Amino acid sequence: MTVRITRQALLPINTRLEKCSPLEILRFAHATFGDRVAILCGMQRAGTALCHMADRAGLGFDVIFVDTGVMHQETLQTRDLLSRTHPRLRLITLSPARSFAQQTAEDGLLYLSRGGQERCCDMRKSEPLRGVRGRYDAFVSALRRDEGGARAKINVLELDPEMGVLRVHPFVNLAPTDLDPYIAAHPDVVVNPLHAMGFLTIGCFPCTTPVRDDEPERAGRWRHLAGVDYCGINPTDRAGVDDAFVTLDDRYGSPLGLVP
């Protein structure tokens, strides 16, 4: 048996979770979905803090990292250190079908144009993630409303129809400075060294630059392409569909507060 889940159906549980702390939301996700939930982490500060919070609370999660083949070495080193120091987490690295050199030889330097950037991000980030469709029923990520743009209206629970999962956002109400006290209190949080070099957000090295103090947080992403803010791996960053839904096993109906 299955249950059809819409954004409207999630309103009551989102209202309840809105009042919960990030750790309480993590506990809810773990208790509800068990081994059918994974954390998505690009090895940025918020994501690694989320991983630390889960591990130190004794919550076992798969952690999915997409290695596009053009990541900074610092990001790969952050992944490796996280794997070694967080025993309750299982790091899973996904990779594109083609190397970046193969892609460039066959398709050219896609990231130099807006249309090409969308194809490049899809092939190197979203397509590997689609390869695990069906393995999970929920993904946890560190998106925040404070990031603005399309993320300003996200809820704790959102739909991901493409992957057939729910998205869980424990940090939805946090500001960047809210992470500072947590990291200061927990010096074993793994922090990507690129953050100390002026990179406020971190993606592939050809399309990520440091950010000046007077610039928005995401100004360093695709600086060479006006109007590009996101890679598209998060459904909240794409245009939504009003009648979107996700179909999951009906065992989730009760913990999600869904009326039969």
Q: Which amino acid does the sequence have at 209?
A: T
204 is catalytic: no
Q: What DSSP string describes 49-110?
A: HHHHHHHHTT--EEEEEE--S-B-HHHHHHHHHHHHH-TTEEEEEE--SS-HHHHHHHH--G
Geometric angle at alpha carbon 99, from 98 and 104, rounded to 5°:
95
Q: Which residues contact 88 (CB under 8 A, 6 or more apart)?
A: 54, 55, 58, 59, 60, 61
Q: Which two tokens stand for residue 88?
A: 């309750």
> To which residue do tokens 């892609």 refer?
103
> To which residue do tokens 């549980």 refer?
13
Residue among 25, 102, 69 at smallest CA distance from 205 = 69
Residue among 53, 44, 89 at smallest CA distance from 195 = 44
Q: What DSSP string describes 1-60?
A: -EEEEETTTTHHHHHHHTTS-HHHHHHHHHHHHGGGEEEE--S-HHHHHHHHHHHHTT--
- Cα(139)–Cα(155) distance, integer angstroms: 14
Write down the H helix ranges in 108-257.
114-121, 127-130, 179-185
Residues assigned a catalytic role: 231
